[in-house]
Structure 1
Amino acid sequence: MALTNAYLQTTKNLHSIINSVISAKAPERFTNKFLEDLGFKSSNDRLYIGLFKALGLLDENNSPTSRYHQLLDQAEMGKVLAVHLLRC
Protein backbone atom coordinates (compact mmCIF):
# COMPACT_ATOMS: atom_id res chain seq x y z
CA MET A 1 0.00 0.00 0.00
CA ALA A 2 1.46 3.36 -1.04
CA LEU A 3 0.93 6.53 0.90
CA THR A 4 -0.47 9.52 -0.92
CA ASN A 5 0.39 13.18 -0.68
CA ALA A 6 -3.18 14.19 -1.59
CA TYR A 7 -4.87 16.39 0.98
CA LEU A 8 -7.84 18.70 1.44
CA GLN A 9 -7.82 22.06 3.20
CA THR A 10 -11.42 21.50 4.21
CA THR A 11 -14.05 18.81 3.76
CA LYS A 12 -16.86 21.36 3.81
CA ASN A 13 -17.84 20.57 0.20
CA LEU A 14 -17.08 16.84 0.22
CA HIS A 15 -20.69 15.69 0.29
CA SER A 16 -21.77 18.31 -2.26
CA ILE A 17 -18.94 17.53 -4.65
CA ILE A 18 -19.53 13.77 -4.49
CA ASN A 19 -23.26 14.29 -5.08
CA SER A 20 -22.61 16.67 -7.97
CA VAL A 21 -20.09 14.31 -9.56
CA ILE A 22 -22.45 11.33 -9.44
CA SER A 23 -25.29 13.45 -10.83
CA ALA A 24 -23.22 14.74 -13.76
CA LYS A 25 -22.18 12.95 -16.90
CA ALA A 26 -18.58 11.74 -16.60
CA PRO A 27 -16.28 14.23 -18.31
CA GLU A 28 -13.61 13.26 -20.81
CA ARG A 29 -11.13 14.87 -18.40
CA PHE A 30 -11.83 15.92 -14.81
CA THR A 31 -10.51 19.50 -14.75
CA ASN A 32 -10.81 22.66 -12.70
CA LYS A 33 -13.27 23.86 -15.36
CA PHE A 34 -15.43 20.77 -14.80
CA LEU A 35 -15.51 21.51 -11.05
CA GLU A 36 -16.36 25.15 -11.77
CA ASP A 37 -19.17 24.07 -14.09
CA LEU A 38 -20.53 22.01 -11.17
CA GLY A 39 -20.48 25.19 -9.06
CA PHE A 40 -17.22 24.65 -7.13
CA LYS A 41 -15.02 27.63 -7.83
CA SER A 42 -12.86 27.76 -4.68
CA SER A 43 -9.17 26.99 -4.95
CA ASN A 44 -9.76 24.54 -2.08
CA ASP A 45 -12.14 22.59 -4.31
CA ARG A 46 -9.35 21.99 -6.85
CA LEU A 47 -7.65 19.73 -4.31
CA TYR A 48 -10.38 17.14 -4.91
CA ILE A 49 -8.73 16.32 -8.24
CA GLY A 50 -5.62 15.08 -6.41
CA LEU A 51 -7.77 13.15 -3.95
CA PHE A 52 -9.72 11.51 -6.77
CA LYS A 53 -6.42 10.55 -8.43
CA ALA A 54 -5.15 9.06 -5.14
CA LEU A 55 -8.38 7.05 -4.87
CA GLY A 56 -7.87 5.70 -8.40
CA LEU A 57 -10.94 7.48 -9.71
CA LEU A 58 -8.85 9.45 -12.21
CA ASP A 59 -5.80 8.38 -14.20
CA GLU A 60 -2.59 10.39 -14.63
CA ASN A 61 -4.28 12.48 -17.36
CA ASN A 62 -7.31 13.23 -15.13
CA SER A 63 -9.51 10.96 -17.21
CA PRO A 64 -12.15 8.99 -15.31
CA THR A 65 -11.23 5.36 -14.67
CA SER A 66 -13.52 2.35 -14.36
CA ARG A 67 -13.62 3.08 -10.60
CA TYR A 68 -14.98 6.54 -11.37
CA HIS A 69 -17.73 5.01 -13.48
CA GLN A 70 -18.53 2.57 -10.65
CA LEU A 71 -18.87 5.59 -8.35
CA LEU A 72 -21.60 6.95 -10.62
CA ASP A 73 -23.77 3.96 -9.71
CA GLN A 74 -25.45 5.39 -6.61
CA ALA A 75 -26.16 1.91 -5.28
CA GLU A 76 -22.41 1.15 -5.33
CA MET A 77 -21.09 4.62 -4.38
CA GLY A 78 -20.56 3.93 -0.66
CA LYS A 79 -18.87 0.61 -1.32
CA VAL A 80 -16.57 2.07 -3.99
CA LEU A 81 -15.49 4.93 -1.72
CA ALA A 82 -15.00 2.69 1.30
CA VAL A 83 -12.91 0.11 -0.55
CA HIS A 84 -10.67 2.69 -2.17
CA LEU A 85 -10.27 4.85 0.92
CA LEU A 86 -9.04 1.80 2.82
CA ARG A 87 -6.46 1.13 0.10
CA CYS A 88 -4.93 4.62 0.31
Structure 2
Amino acid sequence: MTDTYPYMVSNNKLGPIFEKIKTAARPSKFTNEFLKTIGFTSSNDRAVIPLLRRLGFITDDGTPTAAYDKLKDSTLHKHIIGERMRDLYSDLYTVDENIHAASDDEIKGAISRITGKDAKLVNYYFATFKLLASLAKFDGSPISKKEKEKQEKPPEQQGGGNSDEEKRKVKSDFHYNIQIHLPATTDISVYNAIFKSLKDNLII
Protein backbone atom coordinates (compact mmCIF):
# COMPACT_ATOMS: atom_id res chain seq x y z
CA MET A 1 0.00 0.00 0.00
CA THR A 2 1.10 3.54 -0.69
CA ASP A 3 1.09 6.42 1.75
CA THR A 4 -2.25 8.16 1.94
CA TYR A 5 -2.81 10.84 -0.66
CA PRO A 6 -3.30 14.48 0.39
CA TYR A 7 -6.77 15.89 0.00
CA MET A 8 -8.97 18.88 0.71
CA VAL A 9 -12.37 18.17 2.26
CA SER A 10 -13.66 21.29 0.51
CA ASN A 11 -12.12 21.50 -2.97
CA ASN A 12 -14.00 24.53 -4.26
CA LYS A 13 -11.13 26.90 -3.39
CA LEU A 14 -8.36 24.84 -5.00
CA GLY A 15 -8.72 26.34 -8.47
CA PRO A 16 -8.88 29.94 -7.22
CA ILE A 17 -5.84 29.36 -5.00
CA PHE A 18 -3.79 28.12 -7.96
CA GLU A 19 -4.95 31.13 -10.00
CA LYS A 20 -3.94 33.48 -7.18
CA ILE A 21 -0.52 31.86 -6.95
CA LYS A 22 -0.03 32.82 -10.60
CA THR A 23 -0.55 36.53 -9.94
CA ALA A 24 0.48 37.07 -6.31
CA ALA A 25 4.02 37.96 -5.29
CA ARG A 26 6.22 34.96 -4.51
CA PRO A 27 6.29 34.56 -0.71
CA SER A 28 9.42 33.70 1.23
CA LYS A 29 7.28 31.04 2.95
CA PHE A 30 3.84 29.72 1.93
CA THR A 31 2.03 29.76 5.28
CA ASN A 32 -1.47 30.13 6.69
CA GLU A 33 -0.77 33.84 7.04
CA PHE A 34 0.14 34.10 3.38
CA LEU A 35 -3.10 32.33 2.50
CA LYS A 36 -5.02 34.95 4.47
CA THR A 37 -3.06 37.71 2.74
CA ILE A 38 -4.19 36.51 -0.69
CA GLY A 39 -7.81 36.22 0.44
CA PHE A 40 -8.30 32.63 1.65
CA THR A 41 -9.27 32.82 5.31
CA SER A 42 -11.31 29.65 5.85
CA SER A 43 -9.79 26.93 8.02
CA ASN A 44 -10.61 24.48 5.21
CA ASP A 45 -8.28 26.39 2.88
CA ARG A 46 -5.27 25.48 5.03
CA ALA A 47 -5.37 21.92 3.68
CA VAL A 48 -3.86 23.28 0.46
CA ILE A 49 -0.49 23.66 2.22
CA PRO A 50 0.20 19.92 2.76
CA LEU A 51 -1.18 19.34 -0.76
CA LEU A 52 1.28 21.85 -2.26
CA ARG A 53 4.03 20.24 -0.19
CA ARG A 54 3.27 16.73 -1.46
CA LEU A 55 3.06 18.04 -5.02
CA GLY A 56 6.55 19.52 -4.63
CA PHE A 57 5.55 23.18 -4.95
CA ILE A 58 6.85 24.05 -1.49
CA THR A 59 9.40 22.47 0.85
CA ASP A 60 8.67 21.12 4.33
CA ASP A 61 9.17 24.59 5.82
CA GLY A 62 6.97 26.27 3.20
CA THR A 63 9.69 27.67 0.95
CA PRO A 64 8.52 27.86 -2.70
CA THR A 65 10.43 25.59 -5.08
CA ALA A 66 11.40 25.92 -8.75
CA ALA A 67 8.16 24.11 -9.59
CA TYR A 68 6.24 26.84 -7.72
CA ASP A 69 7.92 29.45 -9.91
CA LYS A 70 6.61 27.64 -12.99
CA LEU A 71 3.08 28.02 -11.62
CA LYS A 72 3.56 31.77 -12.04
CA ASP A 73 4.30 31.41 -15.75
CA SER A 74 0.96 31.18 -17.58
CA THR A 75 2.56 29.15 -20.40
CA LEU A 76 3.83 26.51 -17.95
CA HIS A 77 1.15 26.65 -15.23
CA LYS A 78 -1.07 23.75 -16.37
CA HIS A 79 1.86 21.62 -17.53
CA ILE A 80 3.70 21.80 -14.21
CA ILE A 81 0.54 20.73 -12.34
CA GLY A 82 0.28 17.73 -14.66
CA GLU A 83 3.97 16.93 -14.20
CA ARG A 84 3.79 17.07 -10.40
CA MET A 85 0.57 14.99 -10.40
CA ARG A 86 2.33 12.21 -12.30
CA ASP A 87 4.98 12.20 -9.59
CA LEU A 88 2.63 12.36 -6.59
CA TYR A 89 0.23 9.78 -7.99
CA SER A 90 2.92 7.62 -9.58
CA ASP A 91 1.24 4.42 -8.33
CA LEU A 92 -1.98 5.37 -10.10
CA TYR A 93 -0.07 6.18 -13.28
CA THR A 94 1.60 2.79 -13.08
CA VAL A 95 -1.87 1.24 -13.30
CA ASP A 96 -2.82 3.47 -16.24
CA GLU A 97 -0.53 6.09 -17.75
CA ASN A 98 -3.64 8.11 -18.64
CA ILE A 99 -5.49 7.49 -15.37
CA HIS A 100 -6.64 11.13 -15.33
CA ALA A 101 -8.75 10.37 -18.43
CA ALA A 102 -10.23 7.13 -17.05
CA SER A 103 -13.82 6.80 -15.82
CA ASP A 104 -14.64 7.84 -12.27
CA ASP A 105 -15.25 4.23 -11.24
CA GLU A 106 -11.88 3.14 -12.66
CA ILE A 107 -10.06 5.92 -10.83
CA LYS A 108 -11.82 5.19 -7.54
CA GLY A 109 -11.14 1.47 -7.95
CA ALA A 110 -7.42 2.09 -8.52
CA ILE A 111 -7.22 4.44 -5.51
CA SER A 112 -9.04 1.91 -3.33
CA ARG A 113 -6.72 -0.95 -4.32
CA ILE A 114 -3.56 1.12 -3.90
CA THR A 115 -4.40 2.84 -0.60
CA GLY A 116 -6.58 0.18 1.03
CA LYS A 117 -8.67 2.95 2.60
CA ASP A 118 -12.41 3.02 3.22
CA ALA A 119 -14.93 4.50 0.79
CA LYS A 120 -15.08 7.87 2.57
CA LEU A 121 -11.35 8.51 2.27
CA VAL A 122 -11.24 7.12 -1.27
CA ASN A 123 -13.90 9.66 -2.23
CA TYR A 124 -11.83 12.48 -0.69
CA TYR A 125 -8.69 11.35 -2.55
CA PHE A 126 -10.68 10.99 -5.77
CA ALA A 127 -12.29 14.44 -5.54
CA THR A 128 -8.94 16.18 -5.05
CA PHE A 129 -7.31 14.13 -7.81
CA LYS A 130 -10.11 14.96 -10.26
CA LEU A 131 -10.02 18.66 -9.52
CA LEU A 132 -6.24 18.78 -9.89
CA ALA A 133 -6.56 16.95 -13.21
CA SER A 134 -9.05 19.57 -14.41
CA LEU A 135 -6.41 22.26 -13.76
CA ALA A 136 -3.61 20.36 -15.51
CA LYS A 137 -2.27 19.52 -18.94
CA PHE A 138 -0.63 16.17 -19.54
CA ASP A 139 0.62 16.44 -23.11
CA GLY A 140 2.55 18.78 -25.37
CA SER A 141 5.87 20.51 -24.85
CA PRO A 142 5.36 23.81 -23.04
CA ILE A 143 7.41 26.88 -24.01
CA SER A 144 8.10 29.34 -21.23
CA LYS A 145 6.88 32.91 -21.57
CA LYS A 146 10.50 34.11 -21.68
CA GLU A 147 11.38 31.69 -24.49
CA LYS A 148 8.19 32.56 -26.37
CA GLU A 149 9.01 36.28 -26.20
CA LYS A 150 12.52 35.57 -27.46
CA GLN A 151 11.16 33.60 -30.43
CA GLU A 152 8.79 36.44 -31.31
CA LYS A 153 11.61 38.99 -31.54
CA PRO A 154 13.19 39.87 -34.90
CA PRO A 155 16.27 37.69 -35.57
CA GLU A 156 18.66 40.59 -34.97
CA GLN A 157 17.21 41.03 -31.45
CA GLN A 158 17.27 37.39 -30.39
CA GLY A 159 20.89 37.43 -29.35
CA GLY A 160 23.74 35.47 -30.81
CA GLY A 161 23.30 37.18 -34.16
CA ASN A 162 26.46 39.25 -33.99
CA SER A 163 29.08 36.52 -33.70
CA ASP A 164 32.35 36.90 -35.60
CA GLU A 165 31.45 33.91 -37.74
CA GLU A 166 28.12 35.43 -38.76
CA LYS A 167 29.75 38.79 -39.42
CA ARG A 168 32.27 37.09 -41.69
CA LYS A 169 29.44 35.34 -43.49
CA VAL A 170 27.65 38.63 -44.08
CA LYS A 171 30.86 40.19 -45.26
CA SER A 172 31.61 37.30 -47.65
CA ASP A 173 28.12 37.61 -49.13
CA PHE A 174 28.57 41.31 -49.88
CA HIS A 175 29.00 42.21 -53.56
CA TYR A 176 29.67 45.51 -55.24
CA ASN A 177 29.88 46.73 -58.83
CA ILE A 178 32.17 49.48 -60.12
CA GLN A 179 31.54 51.33 -63.34
CA ILE A 180 34.50 52.88 -65.14
CA HIS A 181 34.13 55.48 -67.85
CA LEU A 182 37.24 55.17 -70.05
CA PRO A 183 38.52 58.26 -71.83
CA ALA A 184 38.34 58.37 -75.61
CA THR A 185 41.92 57.88 -76.73
CA THR A 186 43.95 55.86 -79.20
CA ASP A 187 46.84 55.60 -76.77
CA ILE A 188 46.74 52.05 -75.44
CA SER A 189 49.13 52.94 -72.63
CA VAL A 190 46.39 55.04 -71.00
CA TYR A 191 44.11 52.00 -70.75
CA ASN A 192 46.97 49.82 -69.46
CA ALA A 193 47.68 52.34 -66.72
CA ILE A 194 43.99 52.44 -65.67
CA PHE A 195 43.61 48.65 -65.47
CA LYS A 196 46.92 48.27 -63.62
CA SER A 197 45.73 50.78 -61.05
CA LEU A 198 42.46 48.86 -60.60
CA LYS A 199 44.32 45.63 -60.10
CA ASP A 200 46.71 47.12 -57.56
CA ASN A 201 44.11 49.02 -55.51
CA LEU A 202 40.66 47.40 -55.80
CA ILE A 203 40.79 43.76 -56.84
CA ILE A 204 41.25 41.41 -53.82
What is the TM-score of this pair, normalised by structure 2?
A: 0.41
Q: Give the corresponding residue for 1:72.
A: 72
Q: Greater RCO between the two (CA within 8 Å, min separation 6)?
A: 1
What stretches of structure 1 move > 3 A for 4+ residues in a row?
2-5
Q: Give the corresponding residue for 1:30.
A: 30
Structure 1 residues without counterparts, runs of 5 or longer: none
Distance 1:3 1:82, change over 3 A: farther
Q: Give the corresponding residue for 2:41.
A: 41
Q: CA deviation at 1:3?
A: 3.9
The structure carrying a bigger helix percent of its residues is 2
- CA RMSD of the aligned region, Å? 1.2
Q: CA deviation at 1:39?
A: 0.7
> What's the CA shift string for 1:25-53, capped at 9, x where partnerless?
11000000100011100111000000000
Structure 1: distance between partners of 2:74 and 2:33: 24
Aligned residues: 87
What is the TM-score of this pair, normalised by structure 1?
A: 0.92
Q: CA deviation at 1:4?
A: 4.8
Q: CA deviation at 1:11?
A: 1.1
Structure 2 residues without counterparts, runs of 5 or longer: 89-204
